[in-house]
Chains A and B, each alone.
Chain A
Amino acid sequence: MIISVASGKGGTGKTTVSTSMALALNKIKPIEFLDCDVEEPNAHIFLKPSFIATEKVNTPIPLIDNNKCTYCKKCSDICVFNVLAVLEDTVLVFAELCHACGSCWYQCPEKAITQTHKEIGLIESGKSRSMDFIHGKLNIGEAMSPPLIKAVKSKIDPQMTTIIDAPPGTSCPVITSVKDTDFCVLVTEPTPFGLNDLKLSVEMLRQIGIPCGVIINRADIGDDKVLQYCENENIPVLMKIPFDRKIASLYASGIPIVDEMPEYIEKFQNTFFEIERMVRS
């Protein structure tokens, strides 16, 4: 079973939820934790893993053979990302725009385009207590995170229960992170911003067919519009976490909630059982 933890709005408590859920579950079953927020991974601050392995992640980019190129412009015409500029006697490659779709190297009539590789980041893997911990770190200045997220997800062990910490938002990195997961936990807060971005997330998940439930963080601030929305849309509210100074202060010290507030162990375990029931039914 793979559970992703996502949110439309940033700073709602994704990592608070994902790390504590993973630790709570790890007390009853083997857990693998993946931090797919590769632009700004932070789960390691809470789970404090010791890393055993590091591997570089590359993405293919086009390489032009100037001896074969006839400057016919077929490659720049077919590239929807405008990676290639074909001029009179030179071809410019803007590698940072490349999505590695392969159209140019498959379709070059002169076979003048081959693949070379660009390093975009790395994967570090190790252990946090008895839990497997894997995260991706995108190189600074790199724009394209989905290939790295896919590489992190290639480490998923189907024998284990996997918890994925997704990046915020609803764009390609989030879709790549939550894709093919069995259930997505959406963390939100009961504010107009939280609700607006929750709606975007729900619409995104419905498009790609992933069931979801909501955890409302700082549940006693704001208004009840998030609750109303969930009720109207038949989205289960899995847990409410209060706006509690102790939780904020644990977060600020890099301590998972379940380590200092053991009452949350059972809450997160029960949330998981509820998710498991929904996925299986």
Chain B
Amino acid sequence: MKIAVSAQGRELNSPVNPRFGRCEYFVIYDQQTDSVESIANPGTTGAGGAGIKTAQALANTKVNVVLVGNVGPNAVETLNAAKIDIYSGITGTVQDTLDLFKKGELVKTSQPSVESHFGMK
């Protein structure tokens, strides 16, 4: 299982970024191989539809789970269609958040937590 965390940097000790479509990077932890990779978020540029582009990039990377702060309606629709599970409630660093997820302390959601363009404010 590949777990992506929205983050401000590329490392496990990078702070998380609560914005989904506008976060800088995703740090992706692969449980099977116990390895970490990261991707730059292609959704950060452009006026609109950031969450859609970001969700598609995660689908391309074959991510199974994404850990987020906030997520808007178009991102949720795309993630649901890509069958990527969404958990919200991230905090601290990527490692802190992965630990919380492993302990089952993050909440699974299939609904948007914010309206469109929230991450641009």
Contact = CB atoms under 8 A, between A and B. Distances in A.
Give the dominant DSSP class at B's interface: helix
Interface string A86-108: 11101010100100000000000
Nearest to B74: A94
Nearest to A79: B49
A90 B48 contact: no
A80 interface: yes
Nearest to B78: A85
Contacts of A80: 46
Contacts of A88: 59, 82
Contacts, number: 48
B49 A94 contact: yes
Given A88-B82, A94-B52, A82 B46 contact: yes
A76 interface: yes
B78 A81 contact: no
Contacts of B1: none
Interface in A160-199: none
A87 B49 contact: no
A215 to B, nearest CB: 32
A85 B81 contact: yes
Interface in A97-139: 97
Given A80-B46, A82-B46, A92-B78, A87 B52 contact: no
A219 B81 CA distance: 56
Interface of B: 43, 46-50, 52-53, 55-56, 59-60, 74, 77-78, 81-82
